Structure 1
Amino acid sequence: MLTHTLVDTYTTPNSPDTVNILSYTHSSIYINWTSVSSEGVGVIEGYRISVQASQTALIDISADDHLEYNITGLEPYINYTVSVQAKTSAGYGAPRDIHQITKQYLFCIVYSESISYLLVPTKPRLINNPSAGIDTSGSIKLPYIDISWEEPIPPNGVITRYLIQWAEVLNPPSSGAKTKEVDSTARSYRITSGLSHNKKYTVSIQARTEYLQNSPEGWGEAANRTVSTLQSTPTAVPKVSDEVKEKLSVEEQISQISFYLPSDLTTMFSLDSGNIIKYQILVIGQVSNQQFREDKLSNAVPGIASWAEAKKGDFKEPYAISAPEKSPSDWPTNSNRKKRAVASSTQIIVGTDSSCKDGDTRLCNGPLKSNQQYCVYVRGFTSAGYSDSDCIVEAKTKLNYTPIIVGVAVAVALLVVLALLVYIFRRQQQTKKEKKDLADQLRTSTELTEIHEELESNEETSSRISREFQEIDEKCANYSCDVGSLPENKMKNRTLYILPFDHSRVKLTSNKGEGDYINANFIPGKASTQTYIATQGPLPGTIDHFWRMIWEQNVTMIVMLTQLIERGRKQCEQYWPETVEKPATYGDLVVTKRAESVLPEYTIRIFDIQMGKTIRTINTFCQHSGQLWMSIKTTGFARVCAGSEKSNVRWKLFSYPCTLQVTLYVLYLYTADDSTLLDSSLYMVYTTFDSAGVGRTGTYIAVDRLLQCIQDHDEIDIFNLVMEIREYRCRMVQTEWKSTHI
């Protein structure tokens, strides 16, 4: 017999058709729901209620076979999702959801005769502890405290604002707390106001809802933390004012700088970084046109250079005059320093320790270099590190004229001795060959007057010189002068026909939009292709350009071969300040005449040229009208004697070359390689025109080249020499007479 066993197979039940909110409070939600049909699913065994809010765990509640339930233990003002599911033997069916926000919580505050209820949020949830740090993005290092939080649970309403408060922990407590309100969307804040380094602070945060918006009682509970700010390196005060600098009473000497500092240096640093425990004096010399500090001072470490190490680099690296000390009174200064009326000041003298020697590794207060700009700083130390003040003293040591005076005296004495020796030597050579070409005659003749007499009596020699000079004029180069011919440059030329060759002209590199033109050319010498600069006497409109060229080409000596006025005609504008120690401004350069010595045959002037903080010293020589005669020796020196009976060989505007005294003085006394020669001869043989630095200038350059040549060679080639210098500037050695007297 066949028997069948029937087994029912059921599926999970459907979800309830509806779920309803019957009532709710700040901590409960009362719900009911419709029953689920058991048809086709089996017996409904009961119901499960699930409750969940954002960022909270899921809560499951078994309701057995009831169709209503009061959910308790909830938080105020939270949006809850409530789900109801039916259960059969096959499991739980699909849920039916409903959402409900619980009511706000009513705080009860009892006053003397009444009871008040406040709807305020609970305290925000702080994330970790507040963190402290130091902001180094600016020039001043500032402490900060970072705080972050999350919304209170329960919020007990819509959060509208957060209140952050902080105050230093003091004993007794301070009532001066700082406050900051931020928007409800904020979750973090950086506190920077009212903080100091190395201090302890209490930080709190509160939230508020829309309830009691304008009342202090609307703020909820506070979440509190305590945090300490970090200690930092000291912070220097802003740049020292002119008023404070005047009180420093700075004095400059040749190798020293003295000034007065307040005994209490805490005024130079902010104590917010911590207590200054030691101080140190730093010194640095000027570096080119740049500022003193650049990156050198900021990169200097406590093991800073010694005086001897800094001296090797002309003090262009910062060095310390002593180890760090507690106060200025402990710094090494002159033991005989003057007492000041103000007891709160201490005199500091930089450069007093004569015992400092080259090679010393110790920190010492050795002498400074003369005629150099220096800056003095104060370095302050805290336990966390150090920081440097701005330049409190900027001063220049005085120029030491003693070596110059001694050098001039020695050089003059040597010139006299050498001239005597040359004279004796040349006299011994006088009996040698008498019939030589012009170059040999110039090397062997004893007196220039004898050469002159021989030239006048020797018609053949004179004719030969004339032919050679004519050949020079015919064969000399004629390069382009396009730049000098431009309309905007015509007023910068003393004459319209003496223009600089384009290929060798001096170019101004920065002339404030006025172009790079100046009527000047480079002329080669023995050691360089730019030994000389041949230029015209400055015009009223080119004086600024002239000084700009002197500065940019780093000229150290100017030889002026003209007077400002000769024979009633203006030959050159006065391009220097008239009064000693009274500076004049030419463009962006400041020129100061430091000294002037007027001698019978020439004038010596010493100028300081300054651009920004850079100062250079330059010597100038101005030749007076020709009243002397001279004789050229083969060694390249000259003996100069006064006497009216020799006036037939004086330098005249239109005749013979003048004395070589100025040139010899420049070449053999100062031996400068970079000389700027000015020539302003107005009248020449056979023609009349405005000079532009070719006549006397060309003659002097040629003589200088020959004097150098005959020291190393037995023969000279005047023809090719003149041809060579004419390759660089037109019409150099302009007339036949000037060629004759080379």
Structure 2
Amino acid sequence: MATPVSPEDWEVSDFELASSTSGTSVTLSSTSLVSVESRCTDEEEEEEGMLKWGYLSERMTMESEFQVWEATRGWHQAFLEVSDRCYDYTSQVGRSLENRSRNRYANVSPYDHSRMQGEDEQNNYINASFVMVEEAQRKYILTRGPLPNKCSHFWLMVWQQNSRAVIMLNHLVENNNTKCSQYWPLCQGQTLLFKEMGISVCMLKEEVRISFTVHFLRLKSTMMREVRSVFHFHYTGRADFGVPKALASFLSFLFMVRESGCLNDEQGPAVIHCSAGIGRSGIFALVNTCLVLMEKREDPFCLNIRQVLVNLRKYRMGLIQTPKQLRFFYMAVIKGVKFLMADENFKKKWKALSNVRPGPSYDESLSQTHTEFEDTVERDAGFSDLATRTPNSGGREQ
């Protein structure tokens, strides 16, 4: 299957970092899900197939793969092999004449079997996909950056899915091209009202760091008179991921989001977006998923992370858009798991590169839903200093 590439969407630059080698309601179509399951091979067939397309041995670790592809400059071939293993599912709804103007890029549409369907009877289409990883007990909504006429649908989806976090991985404008609309309030105290959806969004607080910003938002349903707290995590680091500081800043951002608890299974699915919702968004979801899976294994480096990528592409097309992104994906997973394994030498080096000091633990009281508007106003001061956090020693996502 040819992997769609949206114009100018996050091309990762070359790296010279040798050290990297050492209850939510979702409406899905039942018939489509059966079709997906019928096309999945069993575990032995998958393993046999993986051995045929580039694995030197059954026990080859991801670090060994990285070293081989670095030495042979084989990232392009590895990328093509991943694409060859992926199915092209139907996306008739997203490509229909009625919905073409609601897609940011003509060649990036959600699959019919995994697309999000809102409760707006007039038009329930939004270019967003529900991604479920049962083994990792993680779920995500991957979507494109909101268009001007779809910001209200975006926030309605956040409300309906009871999402605790919106994770933004792009700038509003990149290379003089608009990548996303301004869908959240501009400053502390400002409120955006989306009358047609009965949703208001107020910014309670903003914390700005070198490579990311955290907005503490209050969502209110004007019809239900219910209020919820939502985090808006915005990664503002350089899109080309310059070496070596950018990789560390990305991991700082990822671990900060993980420690917030917003990615945990008991929460609604986190909404993750970049411009097209497949490049940077795919990297974030994949790295987090792989780290969770590796924490569950006796030998974490034996995780077949290319198969994880193939599995997630069953839910949204084109995750990981370029060979350079595939390379960055490997580097982030390898470095990330080394941090979680509490290698003290690595942690010291990583903290020096990231230059982010640790902060306090997440305040679980933020996860409570309130029925009275005034309750959240009184709790504004209860937000923890989330944007200053890096992983604590030996800390892991719960």
RMSD of equivalent CA atoms? 2.9
Structure 2 CA distance for aligned equivalents of residues 457 and 719 of structure 1: 16
Whether the aligned pair in 2 keeps the contact of 1:628 and 1:650 (CA below 8 Å) is no
1:125-164 superposed matches below 5 A: none
- 1:355-397 C-alpha deviation (Å, 9 max, x unpaired): xxxxxxxxxxxxxxxxxxxxxxxxxxxxxxxxxxxxxxxxxxx
Q: Look up the equivalent residue of 2:169 and give its one-letter code.
A: L
1:711 alignment partner, one of 270, 282, 295? 295
**Deviation at residue 579 of structure 1 after TM alignment:** 3.1
Whether the aligned pair in 2 keeps the contact of 1:522 and 1:530 (CA below 8 Å) is no
| Matched residue, 1:676 | 271
| Matched residue, 2:280 | 696
Secondary structure, counterpart of 1:585 in structure 2: strand
Structure 1 CA distance for aligned equivalents of residues 78 and 288 of structure 2: 21
| Matched residue, 2:143 | 535
| Matched residue, 2:85 | 475
| Matched residue, 2:257 | 666
| Matched residue, 2:360 | none
Q: Look up the equivalent residue of 1:495 and give its one-letter code.
A: Y
Secondary structure, counterpart of 1:542 in structure 2: helix
1:307-386 superposed matches below 5 A: none
Structure 2 CA distance for aligned equivalents of residues 520 and 556 of structure 1: 17
Whether the aligned pair in 1 keeps the contact of 2:61 and 2:303 (CA below 8 Å) is no
**Deviation at residue 576 of structure 1 after TM alignment:** 0.9
Secondary structure, counterpart of 1:483 in structure 2: coil
**Deviation at residue 456 of structure 1 after TM alignment:** 7.9
Whether the aligned pair in 1 keeps the contact of 2:216 and 2:230 (CA below 8 Å) is yes
**Deviation at residue 670 of structure 1 after TM alignment:** 2.8
| Matched residue, 2:317 | 730
Q: Look up the equivalent residue of 2:289 and give its one-letter code.
A: R
1:423-434 superposed matches below 5 A: none
1:605–1:710 Cα change, 3 Å: same
| Matched residue, 2:128 | 520
- 1:122-172 C-alpha deviation (Å, 9 max, x unpaired): xxxxxxxxxxxxxxxxxxxxxxxxxxxxxxxxxxxxxxxxxxxxxxxxxxx
1:87-106 superposed matches below 5 A: none
User: Which has the greater radius of gyration?
Assistant: 1
| Matched residue, 1:486 | 96
Structure 1 CA distance for aligned equivalents of residues 239 and 163 of structure 2: 29
Whether the aligned pair in 2 keeps the contact of 1:472 and 1:719 (CA below 8 Å) is yes
1:533–1:542 Cα change, 3 Å: same
1:543–1:678 Cα change, 3 Å: same
Whether the aligned pair in 2 keeps the contact of 1:523 and 1:529 (CA below 8 Å) is no
**Deviation at residue 650 of structure 1 after TM alignment:** 6.4
Whether the aligned pair in 1 keeps the contact of 2:165 and 2:262 (CA below 8 Å) is no
**Deviation at residue 556 of structure 1 after TM alignment:** 0.4
**Deviation at residue 728 of structure 1 after TM alignment:** 0.4
**Deviation at residue 471 of structure 1 after TM alignment:** 1.8
Whether the aligned pair in 2 keeps the contact of 1:650 and 1:658 (CA below 8 Å) is yes
* Greater relative contact order structure (CA < 8 Å, 6+ sep): 2
Structure 1 CA distance for aligned equivalents of residues 70 and 125 of structure 2: 47
Whether the aligned pair in 1 keeps the contact of 2:170 and 2:239 (CA below 8 Å) is no
Structure 1 CA distance for aligned equivalents of residues 282 and 192 of structure 2: 31
- 1:220-269 C-alpha deviation (Å, 9 max, x unpaired): xxxxxxxxxxxxxxxxxxxxxxxxxxxxxxxxxxxxxxxxxxxxxxxxxx
Secondary structure, counterpart of 1:521 in structure 2: strand
Whether the aligned pair in 1 keeps the contact of 2:164 and 2:262 (CA below 8 Å) is no
| Matched residue, 1:131 | none
Query: How many percent identity over aligned positions?
Result: 25
**Deviation at residue 455 of structure 1 after TM alignment:** 6.7
1:282-321 superposed matches below 5 A: none
Structure 1 CA distance for aligned equivalents of residues 202 and 129 of structure 2: 26
| Structure 2 unaligned blocks of 5 or more | 1-18, 23-56, 330-398
Structure 2 CA distance for aligned equivalents of residues 739 and 574 of structure 1: 29
TM-score between both structures, scaled by the size of structure 2:
0.61
Structure 2 CA distance for aligned equivalents of residues 473 and 545 of structure 1: 31
Whether the aligned pair in 1 keeps the contact of 2:132 and 2:139 (CA below 8 Å) is yes
Whether the aligned pair in 2 keeps the contact of 1:657 and 1:741 (CA below 8 Å) is no
Whether the aligned pair in 2 keeps the contact of 1:519 and 1:535 (CA below 8 Å) is yes
Write 1 or 2 for the structure with the bigger share of strand. 1
Structure 1 CA distance for aligned equivalents of residues 244 and 68 of structure 2: 13
Q: Look up the equivalent residue of 1:659 and give its one-letter code.
A: F
In the alignment, is residue 618 of structure 1 matched against residue 230 of structure 2? Answer: yes
Write 1 or 2 for the structure with the bigger share of helix. 2
- 1:591-633 C-alpha deviation (Å, 9 max, x unpaired): 111111111111100111111311111011101132897xxxx
Secondary structure, counterpart of 1:665 in structure 2: helix
Whether the aligned pair in 1 keeps the contact of 2:138 and 2:289 (CA below 8 Å) is no
Structure 1 CA distance for aligned equivalents of residues 70 and 94 of structure 2: 43
Secondary structure, counterpart of 1:592 in structure 2: strand
2:106 alignment partner, one of 496, 520, 526? 496
**Deviation at residue 736 of structure 1 after TM alignment:** 1.4
Q: Look up the equivalent residue of 2:182 and give its one-letter code.
A: Q
Secondary structure, counterpart of 1:523 in structure 2: strand
Off by >3 Å, runs of 4+ in structure 1: 435-438, 454-457, 526-530, 647-651
1:529–1:731 Cα change, 3 Å: farther
- 1:677-705 C-alpha deviation (Å, 9 max, x unpaired): 1112xxxxxxxxxxx10001111111111
Structure 1 CA distance for aligned equivalents of residues 69 and 79 of structure 2: 17
- 1:434-484 C-alpha deviation (Å, 9 max, x unpaired): x98461347xxxxxxxx7xx578611xx32x43332122122111110101
How many pairs does the alignment contain?
265
1:697–1:628 Cα change, 3 Å: closer
Whether the aligned pair in 2 keeps the contact of 1:694 and 1:733 (CA below 8 Å) is yes
1:125-274 superposed matches below 5 A: none
| Matched residue, 1:458 | 71
1:706–1:522 Cα change, 3 Å: same
In the alignment, is residue 439 of structure 1 matched against residue 36 of structure 2? Answer: no
| Structure 1 unaligned blocks of 5 or more | 1-425, 443-450, 630-646, 681-691
Secondary structure, counterpart of 1:741 in structure 2: helix
1:594 alignment partner, one of 204, 226, 233? 204
